[in-house]
């Protein structure tokens, strides 16, 4: 709330995208007076806003803030909340439209949804809508995700449920669809005839940053790959939807995930590599090993790095491997999708000084810079034929007027206007867990013996290089 949602709400206000008829109620157990709550949020916004805070914009937002003390498991909390919401219908003309944002510990998701149902708070009457945003993580494997879906489906209709993934709020991620489908030149080559393979990397330089207790139970496959990276993969690999309407887009995304055959146990060992960082240096500063982080077990076998080779077994992608890798404490912070095209025939350049021709690459940069880059070959000016790589690139920074954002702005806005396109549907979550769960099962039954197997500040374990090199390829290093 402090770091992301409040700054995002402020940005929406600054863009004129929050109505006057609007209020926010914070609910938690702590006793806080209304005035103290507003003061606390004022101090938070000044600390975490992504732009300069204009008092003329913040003051009305601060005024719309209220607080309710209560326990999520206590039905009386919901009765008091219902009373507050009825009052807001009068005082702030909210028309009974309510968005419940479950920015709460995950074990509370089903508790709250059940109570919202029992108290009648999610009943949609008289044209008013009631929606629920559910944060991550959504389950820890296929079984728990299915159970959670079942529980919330007994209270809410699917179009009331907004399973949020803040990665999908990023400009470049949304742009993947526009870029792919609004540019006619790409579609004919976006398949196995022209694309050799695809790499997706989510590299972080940070460690667990005070979230050791959570992370040690999760690991990178659950924390990043199963949700964010599988979403990126589905955006890159999906068929063109028949429209940009939510269900049309989500139908195509889920089809891609279903086209990835879950690995058999023996395949897990050949097609995945896991790692955990040891002591090292990040940005020339000493970084302690994962096992020495606060609230992490000194014998932890949790993976802080994983690399996977996935096959999308449909007509567009058969034979085109998708290599995914993500890790903490890597050499550089970067999220990129790299489309590696097939190499042209070399015969033409046999008589020249050209030894090797790198294939064309299209790089979709998602973080920290947002942009698109196409690497092509050109002739170096001069009497002999020498090839150089040139970049045709575009950066979101070139749009001078874009303001820094948290990634939650468009998601919050979409949930208010009722657009579920960028949110996970129940079947997408389950399809993603169907791929991740067999890997997690094998990993937990065969504990790693070589952890820690990469130093903080490196590009991960050596075994990950073999994963691509055995196929005659190599990892794309961000910044290359
Ligand atoms: N932190 C991250 O980096 C991060 C990143 C991505 C997603 N998320 C997800 O975002 C959500 C929010 O994260 P967070 O770190 O802000 O969560 P959090 O601090 O663990 O919990 C949020 C609030 O819930 C209240 N709460 C907990 N149990 C309660 C209960 N029984 N009754 C009433 N209130 C209760 C807490 O206040 P009181 O103690 O006063 O009750 C706290 O203010 C989580 O689902 C998390 O998984 C977090």
Q: Cβ(229)–Cβ(200) under 8 Å? A: yes
Residue 444 pLDDT > 80: yes
How many Å apart are CA 179 and CA 172, to the nearest integer?
A: 9
Q: At what angle do helices 230-237 and 246-258 cross, to 10 degrees?
A: 100
* Three-state secondary structure call for residue 365: strand
- Closest ligand 1 atom to the C-alpha of 71? 32
Alpha carbon of 111 to ligand 1 centroid (Å): 14
pLDDT band at 350 (very low <50, low <70, confident <90, very high): low
The residue contributing the CA closest to ligand 1 atom 36 is 28
The alpha carbon of 164 and the centre of ligand 1 are apart by a number of angstroms equal to 15
Nearest C-alpha neighbor of 385 from the set 421, 418, 426, 357: 357
Check if the beta carbon of residue 152 is closer than 8 Å to that of residue 109.
yes
Residue in the structure block whose two tokens are 């008589």: 351
Which residue of 24, 29, 148 sits with most ligand 1 atoms within 8 Å of its CB, as the best mutation to test the pocket? 29
CB neighbour list of residue 233: distance below 8 Å, 6 or more residues apart: 198, 200, 256, 257, 310, 312, 322, 324
Q: What tens digit of pLDDT does each residue of 285-304 get? A: 999 999 999 999 999 999 99
Write out pLDDT tens, residues 257-296: 999 999 999 999 999 999 999 999 998 899 999 999 999 9
Distance in Å, CA 158 to ligand 1 centroid: 24
| pLDDT exceeds cutoff 60 at 140 | yes
Q: What is the pLDDT of residue 480?
A: 75
Stretch 451-458: mean pLDDT, rounded?
Answer: 98
At residue 305, the pLDDT reads: 98
Instruction: Looking at the CA of residue 214, tell me the nearest atom of ligand 1.
Output: 47
Mean pLDDT of 337-341: 96
CA distance 310 to 271: 8
The angle at the Cα of 268, spanning 265 to 271, to the nearest 5 degrees, equals 150
d(CA 428, CA 157): 16
Residues annotated catalytic, as ranges: 228
Closest Cα to atom 23 of ligand 1: 104
Percent share of the chain, pLDDT over 90? 82
What is the Cα–Cα distance from 241 to 421, expressed in whole angstroms? 12
Q: Rounded to whole angstroms, how far apart are CA atoms 408 and 103?
A: 13
The percent of the chain in helix, strand and coil, each rounded to the nearest 5, is 40, 20, 40
Residue that the structure tokens 């769960």 belong to: 437
Q: Whose CA is nearest to atom 3 of ligand 1?
A: 211
Atom of ligand 1 nearest to the CA of 135: 45
Burial class (CB in 10 A: 0-12, 13-18, 19+), 62: middle
Q: Which two tokens stand for residue 45?
A: 């916004």
Query: What pLDDT was estimated at residue 35?
Result: 95
Tell me what pLDDT residue 352 has. 64
Residue nearest to atom 35 of ligand 1 (CA): 28
**Chain segment 6-35, per-residue pLDDT in tens:** 999 999 999 999 998 999 999 999 999 999
CA 106 to ligand 1 centroid distance, Å: 8
Residue nearest to ligand 1 atom 25, measured at CA? 28
Model-level pTM? 0.94
β-pair type (285-287, 130-134): unpaired
Ligand 1 neighbours, Cβ below 6 Å, are: 28-30, 71-73, 103-106, 108, 135-136, 211
Q: Are 104 and 70 in contact (CB under 8 A)?
A: no
CA of 388 to the centre of ligand 1 (A): 51
Query: What average pLDDT does range 93-113 have in this prediction?
Result: 96
Query: Counting atoms of ligand 1 from 1, which one is nearest the CA of 70?
Result: 33
Return d(Cα 469, Cα 308) in angstroms, integer. 13
For ligand 1, mutation pick of 44, 67, 105 (most atoms within 8 Å of CB) = 105
CB atoms within 10 A of CB 92: 16
Q: What is the rounded distance in angstroms from the CA atom of residue 301 to the CA atom of residue 217? A: 10
- Please tell me the distance between residue 102's alpha carbon and the centre of ligand 1 in angstroms: 8
Q: Is 329 left (phi over 0), alpha (psi -120 to 50) or beta?
A: left
pLDDT for the residue numbered 399: 75
Rounded Cα distance between 284 and 286, Å, is 7
Going along the chain from its start, the domains and CATH numbers come out as: 5-164 (3.40.50.720), 168-407+426-469 (3.30.360.10)
pLDDT at 479: 76
**Which pLDDT belongs to residue 229?**
97
Nearest atom (ligand 1) to Cα of 73: 31
Q: Give the per-residue pLDDT at 217.
A: 95
Beta-sheet pairing, 334-341 with 361-367 = antiparallel
Lowest mean pLDDT among 113-117, 230-234, 401-405: 401-405
The confidence score (pLDDT) of residue 333 equals: 95
Mean pLDDT to the nearest integer, 351-368 = 79
Q: Residue 146: is its pLDDT beyond 80?
A: yes
Phi and psi based region of residue 127 (left: phi greater than 0; alpha: psi -120 to 50; beta: remaining): left
> E strand or H helix at 272, and its extent?
strand 272-275
- Share above pLDDT 70 across residues of the chain, in percent, rounded to a whole number: 97
**Ligand 1, atom nearest to 72 Cα:** 32
Maximum separation of any 2 CA atoms in the chain, in Å: 83
Res. 478 pLDDT band, cuts 50 70 90 = confident
Q: How far is the CA of 167 from the centre of ligand 1 (A)?
A: 19
Q: Whole-number mean pLDDT of the chain?
A: 93
* Alpha carbon distances (Å) from 153 to 91, 113, 150, 161, 314: 32, 9, 5, 9, 31
Q: In sequence order, which residues have a C-beta less than 8 Å from that of residue 354 and are 6 or more positions away? A: 385, 386, 387
pLDDT tens column, 414-440: 999 999 999 999 999 999 999 999 999
Structure tokens at 387: 């090839």
Q: Name the least confident of 148-162, 196-210, 374-388.
A: 374-388
Query: Greater confidence, 461 or 168?
Result: 461
Instruction: Tell me: pLDDT of 400 over 70.
Output: no
Q: Is the pLDDT of residue 343 over 90?
A: no
d(CA 452, CA 34): 48
């Amino acid at each position: 709330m402090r770091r992301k949602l409040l700054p995002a709400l402020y940005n929406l206000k600054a863009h004129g995208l929050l109505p006057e008829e609007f209020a926010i109620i914070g609910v938690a157990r702590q006793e806080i007076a209304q005035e103290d709550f507003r003061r606390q949020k004022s101090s938070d916004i000044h600390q975490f806003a992504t732009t300069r805070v204009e008092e003329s914009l913040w003051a009305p937002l601060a005024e719309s803030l209220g607080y309710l003390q209560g326990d999520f498991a206590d039905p009386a909390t919901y009765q008091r909340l219902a009373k507050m919401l009825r009052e807001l219908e009068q005082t702030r003309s909210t028309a009974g439209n309510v968005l419940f944002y479950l920015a709460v510990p995950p074990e509370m998701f089903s508790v709250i949804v059940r109570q919202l149902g029992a108290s009648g708070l999610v009943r949609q009457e008289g044209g008013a809508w009631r929606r629920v945003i559910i944060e991550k993580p959504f389950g820890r494997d296929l079984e728990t995700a299915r159970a959670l879906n079942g529980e919330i489906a007994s209270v809410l209709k699917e179009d009331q449920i907004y399973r949020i993934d803040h990665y999908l709020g990023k400009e470049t991620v949304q742009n993947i669809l526009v870029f792919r489908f609004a540019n006619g030149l790409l579609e004919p080559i976006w398949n196995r005839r022209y694309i050799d393979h695809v790499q997706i990397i989510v590299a972080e330089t940070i460690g667990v940053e005070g979230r050791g207790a959570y992370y040690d139970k999760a690991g990178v496959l659950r924390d990043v790959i199963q949700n964010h990276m599988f979403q990126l993969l589905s955006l890159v690999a999906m068929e063109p939807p028949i429209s940009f309407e939510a269900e049309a887009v989500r139908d195509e995304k889920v089809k891609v995930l279903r086209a990835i055959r879950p690995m058999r146990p023996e395949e897990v060992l050949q097609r995945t590599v896991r790692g955990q960082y040891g002591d090292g240096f990040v940005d020339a500063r000493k970084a302690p090993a994962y096992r020495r982080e606060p609230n992490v077990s000194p014998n932890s076998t949790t993976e802080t790095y994983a690399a996977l080779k996935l096959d999308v077994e449909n007509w567009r992608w058969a034979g085109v491997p998708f290599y995914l890798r993500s890790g903490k404490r890597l050499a550089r912070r970067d999220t990129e999708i790299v489309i590696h095209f097939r190499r042209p025939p070399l015969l033409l350049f046999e008589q020249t000084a050209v030894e090797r021709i790198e294939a064309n690459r299209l790089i979709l940069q998602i973080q920290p810079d947002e942009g698109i880059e196409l690497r092509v070959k050109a002739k170096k000016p001069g009497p002999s034929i020498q090839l150089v790589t040139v970049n045709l690139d575009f950066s979101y920074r070139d749009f001078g007027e874009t303001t820094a954002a948290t990634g939650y702005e468009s998601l919050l806005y979409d949930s208010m206007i009722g657009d579920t396109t960028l949110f996970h549907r129940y079947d997408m979550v389950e399809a993603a867990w169907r791929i991740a769960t067999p890997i997690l099962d094998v990993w937990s039954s065969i504990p790693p013996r070589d952890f820690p197997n990469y130093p903080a500040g490196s590009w991960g374990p050596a075994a990950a290089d073999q994963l691509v090199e055995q196929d005659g390829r190599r990892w794309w290093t961000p910044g290359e």
